[in-house]
Chain A
Amino acid sequence: MILKTLVAQLISRPATNRFPVKYMPKSVTRFLAQVQEGKAKIHPPVPVPPKFRGKIAYDREKCIGCQLCIRVCPAKVIEFKPEVKKIRMYVARCTFCAQCVDACPVDALSLSPDFLLASTDRLAPELIVE
C-alpha cells in the first residue's frame, strides 16, 4: 500500500502551480527580454475563470459622471473629479466586490483578469485607475 502510493507520487504531477521559471534567473530584466524575443520560455500563469473579479478597468469615454459607483462602493475606492466629471479609483483599497460594475448605468466599468497587484506603494501609478 505504502509502496504503491510512493511510486504513484513519484510519477504524478505536482499538486501546486508551477513557478514561472525553475531557477531564479541572474537578471530578471534580461531574462524577460529573452522571453520577449522568444529565446527563453516561462511557464504561463494559471488561467483565471471568465468571470474573475480582478483589477477594475475603467472606460473614461463612456463615463457620464453620474457618481452611482461612488454611492455603492463599500471601501471608498472611488473619488469624483468635479472639474472633468470623471472618476479616479485607488485600487489598493478595492475589495473586488464588483458592486460598482453592477451599478454603472453605461457599463463604463468592467472587471479585468489582472490580479498581480501587490505593491509596497499604495499610491503607485499602476494602482490608480482614472
Chain B
Amino acid sequence: MSARNPKDNDPVLPAVEERVVERELVGAEAALGETFAVPIGPIHPALKEPIRLTFRVRGERIVGVDIRTGFAHRGIEFMGMRQGRNLIQILYLAERICGICSVSHPIAFTQAVERAAGIEVPPRAQYIRVIISELERIHSHLLWAGVAAHELGFDTLLHLTWRVREKVLDVLEELSGNRIDYAIPIFGGVRRDIAPEQYPKVWEAIRYYRGLLEQLLDAFLRDPTVEARTRGVGVLEPKEAEELCAVGPTARASGLRKDVRQDRPYLAYPDFQVRAITPEDYGLTPVGDVYDKIVVRLLEVEQSLNIIEQALENMPEGEITSFPKIPALLAYLKKAEGEGLGWHEAPRGEVIHYVRLAAGEESLLVWKVKAPTYSNLLSWYPMFEDQEIADIPIIAASIDPCICCMDRVYLVRGGKEEVWPKEKLLKLSWEKTRRMQR
C-alpha cells in the first residue's frame, strides 16, 4: 500500500508519499512552501486505540498521510484454529474481537458455522438476535455521537449523549444479564428468551428514545458550533466511497445505499424491509462530510427503534434453540464438515466471518474475520486530504474506527517490519486459495 522511499529508512518517520495534494499556495502557506511530517500515535492518537498516522503537512494543511496498523494484533483467528478449543469456546473468543460490536461478531460467526454444519435457527431465536443487535446499534451509535462531540471539544454534549445511552445498556443488562458481551447467540439459536415480564422494559426504553430523538437531532444537527466544525470536513465523495469499498455509515453518509440488511437480508431481517439510510432521508444532499455521518448515525438510531418495535410486535412463539442440550450440540459440531460464510451489518458496517469445519475436529480448520474498519480504513486517505491539523481527531473518529478488531495480520521478521505490495498480497492470496481448494 505505501510506496516507500528507499533512501528514507528512518524508523520513526517513515516516508509519506501517498496522494500528496498539489494546490496553489496562498499567503503564509506560500511562504512556508516546504512540507514536514507530524507523527501521531501509535499510542492513543485521538482514539483510544493504537494506530500510527504520519501526516505530511504544509503549514496547517495536510497534504499526505501514511497509515500504519498492526500494533494490536491479538491472533484471535489463530487461537481458534486447531488450538484445542471447541466451537463453543471459540464463540466467546469471537465475541471478544470487539467490545462494542460484541453481538455482531457472534451473529456473523454463528451464521457461518450454521451454514457450514447445516443447522436451522428457529424463527423466535432469529427475532431475538435481531432485537439484541439493534439494541447494540443504538448503544454503539450513541457512544459514537458522544465521542464525536468530545473530539469537537463539546464535552457537555458528550455527557448528555452518554447519559441517554445508559438506558439501552440497562435494557441489554435486563435481557442478557451483562452490560456488554451479552453472550446471547449460540449455534442453532439463542441462549436466553425474552420473557413476557421483560417486554415492558424494552417498550419503555423505546418510548424514552422516541421522546428524546428530536432533542438529540436538535443538539447535534441544529447547533452552529457542531455545524461549523463538521460541515465540509473530512469529505468522502460518493465515487471515492464506492472505489475504496467503504461500508456502513461511512459509505451511507456519502449517499451510497449500501447496507447488508438490505442487500443480502439474513436471519429475520427480510421481515423488516430495512432500507439503507442516507442524508437524503433527512432532506439533505449527501456530501460525505462528518456532518452527514452524524445525520446517518442518528437516523439509524430511529431505524433501529422501528425494527425493534416491529420485532416485538410480531415475535413468533416457539423454541429458542434447536439444540437445548450442550453435549448434543458439541457432538453434532464435531461431526460437521464444510465451509460457511456469515455476515452481519454491525454498527460500523459489514462484518464477515468465514469458517471451514472438518469432521472429527473440534476446533476450526480455517477462520477468517473481516471487521468493518478494515474496509473503511482506506477512506481515511481522501478524507484527510487538504484538511487542517485541528480536524484530525474528528475526521479519524468519523469512520468510527475499531483498530483492534481490524488488526488481522502483522509481520515482523528478524526485528524488521516488512511491507508487502499489492502484487505480492494478490499472489499469496491466489496461492492460498489453491492450497485450500486441494
A53 touches B88 (CB 8 A): no
Compute how far the CA of A74 lies from the CA of B92 in the bound complex, rounded to whole angstroms: 7
Min CB–CB distance B170 → chain A (angstroms): 8
Chain B residue total in the interface (Cβ 8 A): 25
A96 touches B326 (CB 8 A): no
A68 touches B88 (CB 8 A): no
B89 touches A51 (CB 8 A): no
Determine whether A59 belongs to the interface, using a CB cutoff of 8 Å to chain B.
no
B86: nearest chain-A partner, CB-CB:
A71
Task: Report if A51-B327 is in contact (Cβ < 8 Å); known contacts: A71-B86, A74-B85, A74-B89.
Answer: no
Determine whether A72 belongs to the interface, using a CB cutoff of 8 Å to chain B.
yes
Select A72's contact among B88, B166, B181, beta carbons within 8 Å. B88
Task: Report if A103-B181 is in contact (Cβ < 8 Å); known contacts: A72-B89, A97-B92.
Answer: no
B330 touches A53 (CB 8 A): no
Task: Report if A51-B192 is in contact (Cβ < 8 Å); known contacts: A15-B163, A97-B181.
Answer: yes
B86 touches A51 (CB 8 A): no
B173: nearest chain-A partner, CB-CB:
A49
B178 touches A99 (CB 8 A): no
Q: Mark B208-245, 1 if CB is under 8 A from A, else 0.
A: 00000000000000000000000000000000000000
Report B43-96 residues with CB < 8 Å from chain A CB.
Answer: 85-86, 88-93, 95-96
B326 touches A49 (CB 8 A): no
Determine whether B431 belongs to the interface, using a CB cutoff of 8 Å to chain A.
no
Interface of B is mostly: helix
Min CB–CB distance A17 → chain B (angstroms): 10
A-side interface size class: 20 to 34
Determine whether B174 belongs to the interface, using a CB cutoff of 8 Å to chain A.
yes
Given the complex, which residues of B lie within 8 Å of A15, measured CB to CB?
163, 166
Determine whether A129 belongs to the interface, using a CB cutoff of 8 Å to chain B.
no
A49 touches B191 (CB 8 A): no
Compute how far the CA of A2 lies from the CA of B176 in the bound complex, rounded to whole angstroms: 39
Given the complex, which residues of A lie within 8 Å of B327, measured CB to CB?
68, 103
A71 touches B330 (CB 8 A): yes
Compute how far the CA of A15 lies from the CA of B191 in the bound complex, rounded to whole angstroms: 32
Report A86-123 residues with CB < 8 Å from chain B CB.
Answer: 95-99, 102-103, 111
A residues with CB within 8 A of B? 15, 48-49, 51-53, 68, 71-75, 95-99, 102-103, 111
List, sorted by A's number, 23 A–B pairs whose CB atoms are closer than 8 Å.
Answer: A15-B163, A49-B174, A51-B175, A51-B177, A51-B192, A53-B176, A72-B88, A72-B89, A72-B330, A73-B89, A74-B89, A74-B91, A74-B93, A75-B92, A95-B92, A95-B96, A96-B181, A96-B183, A97-B95, A98-B191, A99-B88, A103-B327, A111-B177
B residues with CB within 8 A of A? 85-86, 88-93, 95-96, 163, 166, 173-178, 181, 183, 191-192, 326-327, 330
